[in-house]
Amino acid sequence: MNRKQFFLGIVLASLIGGFVAVLGVGFLQTNQDSTTNFTEKQNASLVNWLSDDKFVIPEGINFVASAAQVTPAVVHVRSTVTTSRSQQGVDPMEELFGFRSPRGEATPREGKSTGSGAIISEDGYIVTNNHVIENASKVEITLEDNRRFTARVIGLDPTTDLALLKIDANNLPFIPFGNSDEAQIGEWVLAVGNPYELNSTVTAGIISAKSRNIGILRDESNMQVESFIQTDAAVNPGNSGGPLVNLNGEIIGVNTAIASRTGGFSGYSFAVPSSIAKKVMDDLLEFGTVQRGLLGVIIRDVNADLAESIGEEVKADRGVFVDKVNEGSGGEEAGLQRGDIIIGIDGADTYTTSSLQERVARKRPGDKINVKFLRDGKEMTTTATLKNVSGDTKVVVKTIPKITEFEGVVFEDLKVEYKARLELEGGATISSIDNKSWKDAGVQEGFIITKIGRIKILTGEDVIKALKNYEGEEVIILGVYPNGQRSYYELSL
Active site residues: 131, 161, 240
Query: Alpha helix (H) ranges present in 410-489?
Result: 416-422, 436-441, 460-469
Query: Residue 371 in contact with residue 345, Cβ under 8 Å?
Result: yes
Confirm whether residue 111 is marked as ligand binding: no
Q: How far apart, in whole angstroms, are the C-alpha atoms of residue 158 and residue 418?
A: 13
129 is in an annotated binding site: no
SS3 of 18, please? helix
DSSP readout, 25-37?
Answer: HHHHHHHHTT--S
SS3 349: strand
Backbone dihedral angles phi then psi of residue 187, each to the nearest 5 degrees = -75, 140
Helices 274-287, 353-361: axis angle to 10 degrees equals 30
Going by C-beta distance under 8 Å and a sequence separation of 6 or more, which residues neighbour residue 138?
A: 79, 80, 150, 445
DSSP 234-268: ---TT-TT-EEE-TTS-EEEEEEEEE-SSSS--SE
Q: Is 487 annotated as a binding residue?
A: no
Residue 446 labeled ligand binder: no
Residue 312, SS3 per DSSP: coil
> What Rg value do the Cα atoms of the chain yield, rounded?
27
Q: Is 239 annotated as a binding residue?
A: yes
Local structure of 404: helix, strand or coil? strand
Question: Which residues contribute to the annotated binding site?
Answer: 131, 161, 238-240
Q: Which residues are annotated as a binding site for substrate?
A: 131, 161, 238-240
